[in-house]
Amino acid sequence: MDAIRPMGESYGYIRLALPLMSKYNIPVTPPNYTVWYRYVSGADPKLAKAIDALREKEGLFSDETNEDLYRRFCADTDESKLRKLRDDLRHILVTILKEVTELTGQSEEYESFVTRSIDALTGDPSVEEIRAMISQIIEKTKTLGRFGKRVSFKLNETKKALQTLREDFERVKTEASVDFLTSVANRKAFHDTLIEQMNEAASQQKELTLLIVDIDHFKKFNDEHGHLIGDEVLKLVAKKIKEIVRGRDFLARFGGEEFAVILPQTPLKGAQVVAESINKLFAKTVLKAVNASTPLSKVTVSVGVALYRPGELPDTFINRADRALYRAKQTGRNRVMTEQDI
């Protein structure tokens, strides 16, 4: 029997956020949840000011208002952080270049490398390109340090700054790709990984399958037991699915009560076996709230399965899995359907 517990450090913020959302009739969707969680945590003063102003004006939060709050204060947060790191890295590189220009003959190759890196940063390098660039710069700087104690001493602080920047970059990159509630990959990370795996499957002529897992009657469960317990169920479902997927399999929160699993080098039949394992696991799982004498409502899942067809768009691939899921829910839930059942 799996016990459902409070959410740890973030529990207090959730206890503040959810009643406010209920008070203003705001749907508990991932974007809305993110907005109000940030509001009560005090993480964004500008967001707090905007919401306080709306609350003073009778507190009318329409769908358009909610979407606007998310777009203005949350949707671009991750990109802003990455942009700042990119600017910080450019500043460090300019500092390095200034320090080594006097070392004529000893640092010509290094100067050329740093100059090329600065040029690259004036564009819009990808996350992977920035990460590779930072690693290369650190290694090049270590190599340059062998030219003498004076150079090594001069660049010591710069190397420390680069190491710190790399740690900051990795942290921001992780935050930008992880769902804050369940700690699995988020929708953006899912989309990026799906495209990457589709390209690999097409070029290597390998099979690729996709599962979309939906918690049955989740809204009813939330209504009966409350959103705090519902959040714990989402975390438990993510944890249980993660126990089943292996190797290069990729789990993400697809949205709301849905999860997606990307299965590289897996045929449709193999994916169906994985999906049925997930379905059966929850069918026999009994949930019990901590300090409660009676079990909670049973949680089951429905799963849709689709096989990638080379040349198709990601949305087409996802839609087939989604239609299979819809068919599973149409025919009674708590079951697995593949695209062949549509």
For 273-282, the pLDDT digits (tens) are: 999 999 999 9
pTM equals 0.59
6, pLDDT greater than 50: no
More confident residue, 84 or 206: 206
- pLDDT tens-digit readout, 83-105: 666 666 666 666 665 555 555 45
Do residue 149 and residue 237 come from a single domain?
no
Predicted local confidence at residue 324, as pLDDT = 97
Do residue 198 and residue 303 come from a single domain?
yes
Predicted local confidence at residue 253, as pLDDT = 94
Residue type (1 letter), 53: A
Would 181 be classed as within a structural domain? no
Contact 285, 240 (CB under 8 A): yes
pLDDT band at 26 (very low <50, low <70, confident <90, very high): confident
Residue 172 CA to residue 187 CA, distance in Å, equals 16
More confident residue, 108 or 303: 303
CATH classification at residue 208 = 3.30.70.270
pLDDT band at 290 (very low <50, low <70, confident <90, very high): low
33, pLDDT greater than 50: yes
- pLDDT tens-digit readout, 64-85: 888 888 888 876 665 566 666 6
Do residue 63 and residue 90 come from a single domain?
no
For residue 61, report the phi and psi dihedrals to the nearest 5 degrees.
-115, 95
Do residue 202 and residue 267 come from a single domain?
yes
DSSP tag of 178: B
Residue 4 CA to residue 88 CA, distance in Å, equals 43
Would 160 be classed as within a structural domain? yes
**Domain ends where: 75, 106, 135?**
75
More confident residue, 321 or 150: 321
Predicted local confidence at residue 339, as pLDDT = 97
Predicted local confidence at residue 245, as pLDDT = 92
pLDDT band at 285 (very low <50, low <70, confident <90, very high): confident
Mean pLDDT of 111-121: 70
25, pLDDT greater than 60: yes
Would 242 be classed as within a structural domain? yes
Contact 112, 68 (CB under 8 A): no
**Domain ends where: 28, 60, 75?**
75
Contact 118, 93 (CB under 8 A): yes
Do residue 299 and residue 201 come from a single domain?
yes
Q: What is the mean pLDDT of the chain?
A: 79
Would 63 be classed as within a structural domain? yes
pLDDT band at 266 (very low <50, low <70, confident <90, very high): very high
Do residue 87 and residue 130 come from a single domain?
yes
Any idea which of 148-157, 182-191, 206-215, 315-324 has the lowest mean pLDDT? 148-157
DSSP 3-state assignment of 124?
coil
Do residue 16 and residue 95 come from a single domain?
no
Pure H helices in the chain: 11-23, 30-41, 45-56, 63-73, 77-100, 108-121, 127-144, 149-177, 187-204, 218-225, 227-244, 268-283, 314-330
Q: Based on the structure, what is the number of domains in the chain?
A: 3
Going by C-alpha positions, the residue among 229, 132, 235 that lies closest to residue 178 is 235
Residue 327 CA to residue 321 CA, distance in Å, equals 10
Residue 115 CA to residue 105 CA, distance in Å, equals 16
Going by C-alpha positions, the residue among 261, 341, 259, 339 that lies closest to residue 305 is 339
Q: What is the span of the domain harbouring residue 250?
A: 187-341
Predicted local confidence at residue 328, as pLDDT = 97
Do residue 7 and residue 39 come from a single domain?
yes
